[in-house]
Amino acid sequence: MILQSLADFSMREGLVQDSAFEYAGVSWAIEVGPDGSFWELMPLRVEAGGKGKKLIPRQMLVPKRSKRTVQELEEFLVDKAEYVLGAGEADPGRLERRRNLFAKAIGQAAAATQVPELRAVAQFLANDAARLQCLAQLNAHGFASNDLFCFRVDDRFLHDIEAVRAYWKRKLIPGNATAEVSGTQCLICGKVGSFARLHPNVKGLAGASTSGVPVVSFNQPAFWSYGWENNKNAAVCEDCAAAYATALNRCLSSQFPDPAEPESKLTRQAYVLAKNLTAIYWSDDSSSGIESLAEAAVSDPGRVQTILESPWKGAATAKPLRFHCLLLQGAQGRATVRSYSAELIPKVQQNVRKWFEHTAARTDRALSLPQILSALAVRRKYMKLPPDISRELYLAVLFGLPIPRQLVQLAVRRNLAEAAVADGRAAIIQAWLSRKLEQEGRNPIVKLDPNYDSVGYQLGRVLAVCEQIQYRATDGGKVNKSLTDRFFPALSTRPSFVFQALIKLTKSRLAQIRRRKDSTYLERSLQEVVANLGPDDLTGNLSLDEQARFALGYYHERQARFAKSETQPTAPEENTADEV
């Protein structure tokens, strides 16, 4: 189902017109004159989006490349410097052999097609003086060993000339090294015929080789079943293999050309969750805007409401339209599928809307996924968290899955370590508790609820009120150690040991501000929250769930008091009433 959906997506967007060609990142174009003379070396790298303006190779539709490893095998028209120019750090004899292989292939193509541009390139490759001129410019620029080079003659790229493309297709089909003739049925399209012996590589996965890795590979007997060898275990025809691989590469690249407008680039549809885990997403209707919503939901929450309110411009259809999300783990040998989820597009929109309702810990701004994950990590380095953490949270945002208990435990642990409740951790706990309450048929808790029946929640409110009293009594909290620093860890786990000491200290602070206008209000606030606790509520230890509720009660009370102080500030004026 995964490969079929990807192949359909590729066909729908017109990503693959011909399986004999594929998109590859090309860094340089060698400009050659009609007589084979060297004219110019053109850098093709373009600026990638984001910070730093990193230069990346330009995506171009070139002849399908082999899966060359250590063997000496030239690519047609587009290859690395060691094959095109005989330049590199390898043994000089090996470089010369590779250069001759590339030049021989170009010469054979020129002789077979009589294309003037091919003859010009063949003359250039045979001209040592022209080649050395090109090398001098290349060394002045600097290049990487895996940079790809193409040729340009009379303002035309060699791989775009129709006669050259036709020659490559004729040459590729009879001796296709990547296809195997068989009467096997393709698992994707259902047609019977030859199948791909080697599947195309997918590039751009976090943690994977820069040259790309396959998603489908049966390269060891341990992976074979029922007597089938290699990729016969999952037979896919060449066209379908090219389609699904191109769809993945299109989603992973920010520079993939738009087939309808080659000068424009398609938007990347992938999100890196961990050092070796990437989420790739697509839908059955690209005009629905669901891909933009999926991207904004985790990285730019400020745009979410705008996207949700925009009308769906897609055409009405009787077929249910789904949003698909594939999580791939990159490695040096192959990509591993860690998760695949599919849901109706309206349901995903509803899930995202509900996620932001549940995580509205702050009313002034929504939190992105990195901001929430940073609150769970030591020194806010969220990329060092286990991949399962980011994966489960990502799926919870888009597919409405329950918040894993592991995330709640991690949030509670960081609260204890820092004696504070960060916005991100409050958002996690609030989402977890809200979804739990909804499953019980109760309303979610997204703001202060003075009547919420939870010992932990009410204890958290008590600490927040005590903290405010200390703040008012010490001219803006000018103390070496606040009540929260002293009492948060113990009060949130073993309240019976420290509750009386906290109340005693707070009452002494109240006595210091007895003459101020807000003293009566603060004392009444303390009495109200303490009254919510029964005589038996302070016995024993708080469970993990109650510790999480403690953090949320503390956070909600503080946010409510901050909001009240902003709308109705209280001045620390002296009480003018006569003392008794």
Q: Is 300 contained in some domain? A: yes
Check residue 312 and give its pLDDT.
53
> Residue 270 is part of which domain span?
179-343
Q: Is 213 contained in some domain? A: yes
Q: Per-residue DSSP letters for 111-175?
A: HHH--HHHHHHHHHHH-HHHHHHHHHHHHHH---TT-EEEEEETTEEGGG-HHHHHHHHHHHTTT
Which residue from 422, 415, 514, 420 is spatially nearest to 469, judged by alpha carbons?
514
Q: What is the mean pLDDT of residues 466-480?
A: 86
Same structural domain for residues 106 and 134?
yes
Q: What confidence tens digit (pLDDT) does each residue in 53-66 have?
A: 678 899 899 998 88
Highest mean pLDDT among 39-43, 48-52, 253-257: 39-43
Cβ contact 242:195 at 8 Å: no
Structural domain ending residue among the three candidates 124, 148, 172:
172
The secondary structure element, H or E, covering residue 339 is strand 336-344
Please give the residue that has the higher pLDDT: either 429 or 538.
429
Same structural domain for residues 216 and 144?
no
Check residue 562 and give its pLDDT.
77
Check residue 577 and give its pLDDT.
35
Torsion of CA 533, 536, 542, 544, to 10 degrees: -80
Measured between alpha carbons, how far is 462 from 484 in angstroms, rounded to an integer? 11
Check residue 579 and give its pLDDT.
33
Q: What confidence tens digit (pLDDT) does each residue in 567-578 have?
A: 554 444 444 333
Distance of CA 228 to the CA centre of its chain: 36
Check residue 35 and give its pLDDT.
94
Residue whose tokens read 């888009």: 398
Check residue 572 and give its pLDDT.
42
User: Could you tell me the pLDDT band of residue 317, with boundaries at 50, 70 and 90?
Assistant: very low
For the record, the structure tokens of 103 come out as 């030049």
For the record, the structure tokens of 200 come out as 């195309």
Check residue 77 and give its pLDDT.
95
Query: Looking at the predicted structure, is the pLDDT value of residue 106 above 60?
Result: yes
pTM: 0.83
Query: Looking at the predicted structure, is the pLDDT value of residue 51 above 70?
Result: no
Same structural domain for residues 167 and 204?
no
Same structural domain for residues 159 and 203?
no
H-type alpha helices, 263-338 = 290-299, 304-309
Cβ contact 29:156 at 8 Å: no
Same structural domain for residues 203 and 337?
yes
Same structural domain for residues 88 and 135?
yes
Q: Is 102 contained in some domain? A: yes
Check residue 85 and give its pLDDT.
94
Check residue 171 and give its pLDDT.
86
pLDDT-wise least confident of 107-116, 192-201, 404-413, 554-563 = 192-201
Helix, strand, or coil here: 438? helix
Q: Is 418 contained in some domain? A: no
Q: What is the mean pLDDT of residues 362-388?
A: 87
Domain count, the chain: 3
Mean confidence (pLDDT) of the chain: 88
Structural domain ending residue among the three candidates 343, 359, 388:
343
